[in-house]
Amino acid sequence: MALIEVKNLCVEFPTRHATLKALRGVNFSIEKGERLGIVGESGAGKSLSAFAMLNLLSKPGRIAEGEILFEGQDLSKLNDDEMRSIRGNRISMIFQDPMMTLNPVLTIGTQMVETLQAHRKISKAAARLIAIDRLNEVRIPSAEERLESYPHELSGGMRQRVVIAIALLTEPVLIIADEPTTALDVTIQAEIMSLMLDLCKTHNVGLILITHDLAVVSQVTQKVIVMYAGRVVEQGATRAVIENPRHPYTRGLMAALPQQNTPGKRLFQIPGSMPTLDAMPDGCAFNPRCEHVGDDCRNKMPKLDSFEGHLVRCHKAEELQIKGEKS
C-alpha cells in the first residue's frame, strides 16, 4: 500500500462573485521512503496541495473533491482532533522562512519539548534528551546550549536546521517541505538540501519537496510533478521528465535554467505570466504563452496522457517530440 495516495484532489475558494477552482484534479502517490518534487511557478497550486493534504486550508478554501489516503485513511474526512494526532506526528511540515516559523519569544528547547509533549506522554527531561539527539543529527554544534537559545540568536541556516530537527522529532513517515531553502543563501541551500536528503534516507522518511528549483528536484527526488494553473501538466519519474520534457511549459522551465556552457547568451524566458483563477483561457491554460499553440489548444483542455513512460497534458506532445529530434 502506498504511504500517501492523493486521488483527484480539487480545492476551491467560494467567493462572492464566483467559485474559484484553485486545484483541479491532482493525483499522485508516494511509497514509504520515496521522494516527490512538486514544481511550478508562484500560484500554480504547489503549496495549496500541501496545505490541503494537512487539512490546513485557510478559509474560505475547501476540498471540493477527491481523497487523500494516508496509510489507507482519508485525511479529508478526519475531524480536528484526529487530524491533530497526525499533523506533526506522522506527517511534519517544513516552511519556507525559518525566520518566521519559530516563535520569537520561546527558546528552541521549549518549542521542541512542547512538540514532543503534544504527541506523546513524556517527561520534560526525556523530551529534552530526544531534542538534543535530533539537534546533533542536524549537525548543530553544542546542542545542549542551543536549547536555551532564542531563535534570534541563531543564523538563518541554523534556524532552518532547527526547523528540520523539529520536523524529525516525532519520527514522522512523511515530511512536506514547502520551499525549504528559498530564504537561505546559495551555499547554505546546498548544505541544507543534502542534509535533508541524508536524513530522509537514514530514517526512511517520505518527502514531498515543493520548490521552483529544477536542479534541486533532479538531485533529490525520484518522482516529479510539474504544475501550472492548478493542474498537473507533466508527471513522472524525475529522470524521465528532466531528460525528456514533453510539455512546452516544462521545456520553458528547463530552458530558463542558467547553463555554464552557453555564456554571454540571454537566458530563455517564458513570455507573459500565469492567468489568474478568475480569468482562465479556454482550452489549455498555457495556450496564451505557448509558442506551439494551435487551434485545438485554444478550444479543448488536453488530457493527461502517457508518453514514453510519463504523463503529459499537451495536444502537441507527439509533434513536439518529432520537431525536437529534427533540430
Partner 1 sequence: MKRLKKFLASDFFYQFKSDKMAIVSFTIIFTFVTLAVLAPLISPYNPHDPSQIDLMDSEIPPVWDHNADEEPDARFWLGTDQQGRDMFSAILYGLRISLIIGIFAVAVQMVIGIAIGLISGYVGGRVDAFFMRLADIQLSLSTMMIAIIGLAIFQATFGAELYEEMAVFMLVLVIGIAEWPQYARTVRASVLAERNKEYVDAARVIGLSSPIIMVRHILPNTLSPLLVISTVQVANAIISEAALSFLGLGMPVTMPSLGSLISSGFEYIFSGSWWITTIPAFVLILLILMINLLGDWLRDVLNPKLYKG
Q: Which is nearer to partner 1, 157 or 248 (CB)?
A: 157
- The CB-of-200 to partner 1 minimum distance in angstroms stands at 18
- The CB-of-193 to partner 1 minimum distance in angstroms stands at 20
In this structure, the strands spanning 19-30 and 73-74 are: unpaired
**Which cell goes with 263?**
555564456
Q: Which is nearer to partner 1, 57 or 285 (CB)?
A: 57
Q: Which is nearer to partner 1, 75 or 163 (CB)?
A: 163
Sheet containing strand 4-14, edge to edge, reads 19-30, 4-14, 62-70, 73-74
49 binds partner 1 (CB under 8 A): no
Integer Cα distance of 115 and 297 in angstroms: 49
- The CB-of-220 to partner 1 minimum distance in angstroms stands at 21
DSSP string for 185-210:
-HHHHHHHHHHHHHHHHHHT-EEEEE
**Site for partner 1 (CB under 8 A): how many residues?**
26
**Which cell goes with 222?**
525520484
How would you classify residue 262: left for phi > 0, otherwise alpha for psi between -120 and 50, otherwise beta? beta
Integer Cα distance of 209 and 180 in angstroms: 8
82 binds partner 1 (CB under 8 A): no
C-beta contacts of 300-309 below 8 A and 24+ residues apart: 304/232, 304/235, 307/246, 308/240, 308/244, 308/246, 309/236, 309/237, 309/240
Residues 94-123 binding partner 1 (CB under 8 A) are 95-97, 100-106, 114-115, 118-119
237 binds partner 1 (CB under 8 A): no
- The CB-of-190 to partner 1 minimum distance in angstroms stands at 23
- The CB-of-222 to partner 1 minimum distance in angstroms stands at 24
Q: Tell me the chain's radius of gyration from C-alpha atoms.
A: 21
- Specify the DSSP element, H or E, that contains 172: none
Integer Cα distance of 138 and 200 in angstroms: 12
129 binds partner 1 (CB under 8 A): no
**Which cell goes with 304?**
493527461
Only segment of 6-14, 87-95, 207-215, 310-318 that touches partner 1 (CB under 8 A): 87-95
Residue 278, judged by CB atoms within 10 A of its CB (0-12, 13-18, 19+), counts as exposed
Q: Which is nearer to partner 1, 159 or 313 (CB)?
A: 159
**Of positions 24, 87, 247, 289, contacts partner 1 by CB under 8 A:** 87
194 binds partner 1 (CB under 8 A): no
Q: Which is nearer to partner 1, 57 or 311 (CB)?
A: 57
Largest CA distance in the chain: 67
- The CB-of-182 to partner 1 minimum distance in angstroms stands at 13
Q: Are 151 and 104 in contact (CB under 8 A)?
A: yes
Q: Are 4 and 53 in contact (CB under 8 A)?
A: yes
**Of positions 92, 189, 238, 250, contacts partner 1 by CB under 8 A:** 92
**Of positions 84, 203, 239, 292, contacts partner 1 by CB under 8 A:** 84
54 binds partner 1 (CB under 8 A): yes
Only segment of 8-16, 91-99, 194-202, 301-309 that touches partner 1 (CB under 8 A): 91-99
- The CB-of-169 to partner 1 minimum distance in angstroms stands at 9
Residue 166: CB atoms within 10 A of its CB come to 24
- The CB-of-56 to partner 1 minimum distance in angstroms stands at 6
Interacting residues toward partner 1 by CB under 8 A: 54, 56, 84-89, 92-93, 95-97, 100-106, 114-115, 118-119, 163, 166
